[in-house]
Amino acid sequence: MDTVRKITHELAIAGQPTLNELKQLVQEGYQTVVNLRSPSELGFLSDEQPEAECLGLCYVNIPVRLDGLNLEHVLQVIQQLIELPKPMLVHCNSGIRSSIVVLIQIAIKQGMKAEDAFQKAAALGLLNNRF
The predicted model scores a pTM of 0.90
Render pLDDT for 43-85 as a digit per residue (tens, 0 to 9): 899 999 999 999 999 999 999 987 878 888 899 999 999 999 9
Beta bridge partners of 32: 58, 88
**Banded pLDDT at 128 (limits 50, 70, 90):** low
Q: Within a domain: residue 92? A: yes
Q: Within a domain: residue 128? A: no
Counting the structural domains of the chain, the total is 1
What's the mean per-residue pLDDT of the chain?
A: 90
**Banded pLDDT at 22 (limits 50, 70, 90):** very high
Q: Which CATH number fits the domain that encloses residue 19? A: 3.90.190.10
Q: Within a domain: residue 88? A: yes
Q: Using alpha carbons, select from 13, 41, 6, 11 the residue that is nearest to residue 130.
A: 41
| Owning domain of residue 15 | 5-123
